[in-house]
Amino acid sequence: MDKFDGIPEKALAWHKAGKGAVLATVIQTWGSAPRRVGSQLAISGDAEIEGSVSGGCVEGAVIVEALEALEAGEARELEFGVSDGDAFAVGLACGGTIRVLVEPVGAVLPEDMLEELVNKRAAREAVAYVVDLDSGARHLATDGHEPRFRMDRSGFEEDSRTFVAIHNPPLRLIVVGGVHITQALLPMARIAGYDPVIIDPRETFGSAARFPGERIVDDWPDEAIDQLGLDVGTALVLLTHDPKLDDPALHRALRSKCFYIGALGSTRTHAKRVARLTEAGFSDAEIARIHGPIGLDIGASGPAEIAVSILSEMTRVLRKGA
């Protein structure tokens, strides 16, 4: 099953249970900061915690500030770094600086807004939480921040004090074709945080014996994709070499919001694929979304190394754009 980090969900549950709750979010980093912008820590009024803003080195100080902010009913901006006199005392000795926004639920972050955020996350709908730190205005947005959604990148809007926290669906990998490369790719992708699904109507390939414990869908790819959906948190990898299986999946993917589409095959095979898609009415811009031949050119040899090249390319596209 797809899983979020569960941090906003935990904060909402604590708030509804009457314990009080605070969300702390990394809003800016410099140098070797231990967590990326957008990382969150939830703190209950009983000092229970979920998540992290620093890998542990400043959590204690953030918890103290959060409990004080909860009592005062106010937002706070905190900064920790080696330039501060207290930096080493709180443990941020890695050479970085972080800024953290602390928001009590209810008094600052409206309960209904947090609940809507949680509901959109549960529905795998990409959503941005936008806050103007000068005026205190807050809202949710599902469009208007496409580059941030595509690269899963929270941060400040240019030359402003408006912070945008991106909540994309959990990473999911859909692989069409239960081949040898798939056997190597799935465990690697799982380590990298993906929830994998295999689509293969061919019983010999897509079998539980070949993929123990994995989710296998034995429908035709277009039908399976209609069931699974393709969103901004999804990477689609096509490994069958068979147009009868790959092309129906491509037809769905090219007009979806999935962040990565990769297809196995030589340059010659890809040229034939492009010709078929052009004939089917797809534009050059749509077809250009396909990474084919699939994977970074690292001179990969054998299924495991090809899997490394595919996962590397998926990561580059996710974090840096196509």
Q: C-alpha distances in angstroms, 162 versus 54, 102, 138, 293?
A: 22, 15, 9, 40
Average pLDDT over residues 164-168: 95
* Inter-helix orientation angle 243-253/221-228, to 10°: 30
Rg over alpha carbons for the chain, rounded to the nearest Å, is: 22
Q: Lowest mean pLDDT: which of 49-58, 203-212, 218-227?
A: 49-58
**All domains of the chain in start order, with CATH:** 7-167 (no CATH), 172-320 (3.40.50.720)
pLDDT at 118 over 90: yes
**Is residue 34 over pLDDT 90?**
no
Q: Where are the strands (E) in the chain, listed by range?
A: 21-31, 40-44, 49-51, 76-81, 96-104, 127-132, 138-141, 155-156, 162-167, 172-176, 195-199, 215-217, 234-238, 260-263, 290-291
Query: What is the Cα–Cα distance from 177 to 219, expressed in whole angstroms?
Result: 12
User: Cα separation of 231 and 105, whole Å?
Assistant: 29
Q: Distance (Å, rounded) from C-alpha 287 to C-alpha 289?
A: 5
Model confidence pLDDT, tens digit, residues 65-96: 999 999 999 999 999 875 545 544 555 555 57
Instruction: Return phi, psi of residue 134, to 5°.
Output: -85, -50
Q: Quick one: pLDDT at residue 89?
A: 52
| Residue 33 confidence (pLDDT) above 90 | no
Per the structure block, which two tokens stand in for 120? Answer: 């959109």
User: What average pLDDT does the segment 232-249 reach?
Assistant: 94
Rounded to whole angstroms, the Cα distance separating 103 from 86 reads 22
CA–CA separation, 69 vs 307, rounded Å? 47
| CA–CA gap between residue 42 and residue 25 (Å, rounded) | 9
| Lowest-confidence segment of 29-43, 161-175, 302-316 by average pLDDT | 29-43
pLDDT at position 1: 38
